[in-house]
Amino acid sequence: MRSPRVIAIAVMAVVFAVAVVTLLRLGTRERDAITAVVTPPPVLAGTPVTLKPGQRLCEEDVALEPDSQVIRVYSGAPTSDVARLHITLRGDGWSTSVDSPPVGNPGTGADGIYDTSFAPPPRSLLATVCVSSAEDRPAILAGSREDRVHTRSRTTVDGKPIEERVGMSVLSGGPQAPLSHLKTVLQRAAAFEPAPVGWVLLGLVLVVVGLGVPALVVYATLRALRDD
């Protein structure tokens, strides 16, 4: 019959192995590389916001970084036949204008999501992002009046505030695995600490916790079994 010590070591080895595999899968699985959520998309009930040709919907105080490359908004149209969007970004001496992808490409809005690529700003800044229809037909965006959807940005249509909050996010390109830009993840997590001390110390803390705590658990367990 195997001793309790051997059984305990085997159980802990299996648990730690499963934990390591799970963490590696989470760290290497590609996901949307979102750098800022201006306004969350509707959670339960959406309220369509219709932009007639010539109308412009604008979101103020949108945080952009030098690696920001994509503006995401959500279609509120009932069908996949949607109008292309014209998007203008401007702030602190910088501006750019782009159209959403044409039909047949990802991010056209046909699947409910507009992903529009733009040339990133040279530095971090707060920008005003304006959206309008790029065609001679209305563009319908997904908005919300839910109390749970909050934003610091003010939404206007032709300069007039509206009650609806239109879902908008900023991405740094296509899907990425967290481990592929670990330094950036740590820097954002330690945004209010002085660089590079902030993200460096945070990384060291994660290493100590990730390795030190399991090691202490193993040591304490073996020590208790030995004392018995």
Q: What is the pLDDT of residues 131-163, one digit of tens each?
A: 999 999 999 999 888 766 666 677 899 999 988
Contacts of 157 (CB under 8 A, 6+ apart): 49, 51, 55, 56, 57, 58
> How many beta carbons lie within 10 A of that of residue 155, not counting itself?
20
pTM: 0.67
pLDDT on residue 35: 79
Which helix (DSSP H) or strand (DSSP E) does residue 74 occupy? strand 70-74
pLDDT on residue 2: 54
Q: What is the pLDDT of residues 96-112, one digit of tens each?
A: 999 999 888 888 898 88
Q: Which residue has the tokens 């971090």?
A: 124
Over range 169-173, report the average pLDDT. Answer: 84
Q: What is the pLDDT of residues 73-98, one digit of tens each?
A: 999 988 889 999 999 999 989 999 99
> Which domains occur in the chain, in start order?
4-30+178-227 (no CATH), 34-171 (2.60.120)
Over range 164-183, report the average pLDDT. Answer: 73
| Cβ(53)–Cβ(95) below 8 Å | no
Tell me which residue of 27, 34, 29 sits closest to 170, measured CA to CA: 34
pLDDT on residue 1: 43
